[in-house]
Chains A and B, each alone.
Chain A
């Protein structure tokens, strides 16, 4: 998979794009994608191109949430495919992320 991140408004809006297969192999790339940005930024996770997701990926999403301020985190997950949405729902992630 590839992870790309970009920011606008001096880092207050961070967009992370995930492509292909999202699993444990990506843990470093994924961490790098957000670590440089401040916790109070608004994060958008673009999963339009994400094909697969496993439980390690779910763990990584939680780490991003922790980085972004835990319960105060503002993270939008956009473009997830139905099957991926289903996986996010099974893990009860709709409570923790804004899944559009």
Chain B
């Protein structure tokens, strides 16, 4: 055996030498001259921290109490006098194997901790920082020792609504970081493109299934607030029950119960079935929690009850959030083993959702733009021109849709594209070529006489034209379509009409622009208003 040997005469000196020399193995008598074998074992093991110093206790018969003490204090093995050299060698080999295992474990632990650090960084730097600061949302994330793998994501929707995803990725380190990044990116990209809640969830579910092939556990609540914050579309996938409370009555008025559907288990989630709607007002708050106030053994009902007790006790407090947080903290003190707990409160006031465009500068307002528009390098172009009496009996919209279909897969956005084409064509035909006034549609009878008049004018139409040009380009996974409509009409006061479209909901006109503005990435008119250009893009 290849050891350099240092001899010392008592346990005190053994402690000193262990502090200055790089020791690997100590053979120490159970009964040292200073009687401190037990203390020395304890101190040396403690000081060694992450280094492995093996201690083998040498014993004589009848010193069993000392042996036991030393083993409890951390000694690795013992050998009885008189020594048999083979037995001693075997013991040394055994502790060497222990050292190897111990070192592997230390390395793994360090890697795990580095992974955790990475995950923590991803969570705080890459994910949470993307969330806009919304004062109406309060959150508290409690974590013990390692990082908290709970996620809170927020993203504006094109119709000035807000999507919120609150959930927990039951994964460690790198897997959690990858899962969280995927979730965050999918959520942000699809929210900004105006995908509906269940489409976002379905895509997210499929991506997580593909990416992290082992079964993962991802619990989440998805919330969509409409622009006026009076309608909530939401679904709960395996999270604890969430609550809608009322400031006016200090009561719980609705519950968002977990559905039986879970994320990350398998594809074909069909999450649409899980979504429900609630109407909201500004006196209401949504309270969501993640984590448990009780131990694993208790049933889901009891766990929920504990949260509910805390909530009920806080309902009348000046600040519901602070009150609830205090109640939860008190409970958590009694349950030290609970690792993570998160609490989110959303106050359903209008400032929750993005400012509508009314406050924007004129330029932004009339040249509405939501997303970065990619430059068209080498587009595929398609132009058609419909003239004179052909306008009365040709419907170009199926042709336009077919064109887009042949060059790109647009199935998912088919309906939307149809609506965009129809609005643009109706606008060019009705107001440009036929010179019909929208004001006519302000009453029920007017609405019908408008269409009657439209049919009449179409029948006797002799001159006029609508030119349509499409430009399509694909860049990476983004498909972008530029659409231009130019009509032979005199143009119109597009500024006034667009302005009205910000307020029109019950009116019988102005909705066409409302739709275009929300469905397209960019909408702009050219003076005098007989030419319009929109950009529509979608992910493939």
* Contact A59-B272, Cβ < 8 Å, known A23-B422, A90-B519, A91-B511: no
Across the interface, name the chain A residue whose C-beta is closest to B414: A83
Q: Does B159 interact with chain A (Cβ within 8 Å)?
A: yes
Which of B226, B441, B519 has a CB less than 8 Å from the CB of A59?
B441
Interface size, A (range): 20 to 34
Known: A24-B426, A53-B419, A83-B414. A59 touches B515 (CB 8 A): no
Q: Are A92 and B505 in contact (CB under 8 A)?
A: yes
Whether B419 and A54, one on each chain, are in contact in the complex, defined by CB atoms closer than 8 angstroms, is yes
Are A90 and B422 in touch, CB under 8 angstroms?
A: no
B102 within 8 Å of A (CB atoms): no
A54 contacts B226, C-beta separation under 8 Å: no
Which residues from chain B contact A99 at a C-beta distance below 8 Å?
277
CB-CB contacts below 8 Å: B409-461 with A: 413-416, 418-419, 422-423, 426, 441, 444, 447-448, 451, 454
Smallest CB gap from B228: residue in A: A92
Q: In the complex, which of the residues A63, A86, A94 contacts B194, with contact meaning CB atoms closer than 8 Å?
A: A86
Q: A16: which B residues are within 8 A, CB to CB?
A: none
The answer, yes or no, to whether B312 is at the interface (CB within 8 Å) is: no
Centre residue among B227, B228, B416 by max chain A CB count within 10 A: B416
Residue B96 CB within 8 A of the other chain: no
Asked whether, in the complex, the Cβ of A51 is within 8 Å of the Cβ of B277, the reply is no
Residues of B within 8 A of A58 (CB): 511, 515
Interface string of A19-61 (1 = CB under 8 A from B): 0010110011001000000000000000000011111101110
What secondary structure prevails in chain A residues at the interface with B? helix
Tell me, yes or no, whether B199 is within 8 Å of chain A by CB.
Answer: yes
B511 touches A55 (CB 8 A): yes
* Contact in complex: B196, A82 (CB < 8 Å): yes
Contact of A55 among B227, B277, B413, B512 (CB under 8 A): B512
CB of B445 to closest CB in A, whole Å: 10
Select the residue from A27, A53, A59 with max chain B CB neighbours within 10 A.
A59
Task: Find A87's partner among B231, B413, B419, B454 (CB 8 Å cutoff).
Answer: B419
B139 is an interface residue with CB less than 8 A from chain A: no
In this complex, what residue of B is CB-closest to A26?
A: B451
Q: Which residue of A lies closest to B508 (CB)?
A: A59
Does residue B230 face the partner (Cβ distance < 8 Å to A)? Answer: yes
Measured between beta carbons, the chain B residues less than 8 angstroms from A59 are 441, 447, 508-509, 511
B514 at the interface (CB under 8 A from A): yes
> Could you tell me if B226 and A55 are in contact, using CB atoms closer than 8 angstroms?
no
Q: A90 contacts B159, CB within 8 Å?
A: yes
Contact B448 A31 (CB under 8 A): yes
Nearest CB on B from A48, distance (A): 13
Given contacts A66-B444, A95-B231, contact A83 B451 (CB under 8 A): no
> B228 contacts which chain A residues (CB < 8 A)?
92
**Docked complex Cα distance between A82 and B275 (Å):** 12
Give chain A residues whose Cβ lies under 8 Å from the Cβ of B515: 54-55, 58, 87, 90-91
Contact A85:B423 (CB < 8 A) given known A27-B448, A58-B511, A94-B231: no
List residues of chain A with CB under 8 Å of any chain B CB. Answer: 21, 23-24, 27-28, 31, 51-56, 58-60, 62-63, 66, 81-87, 89-92, 94-96, 99
9 closest pairs, A vs B, by CB?
A83-B415, A55-B512, A54-B422, A52-B418, A55-B511, A90-B518, A92-B505, A82-B196, A90-B159
8 intermolecular pairs with C-beta atoms under 8 Å apart: A54-B422, A54-B512, A54-B515, A55-B512, A59-B441, A92-B226, A94-B277, A99-B277
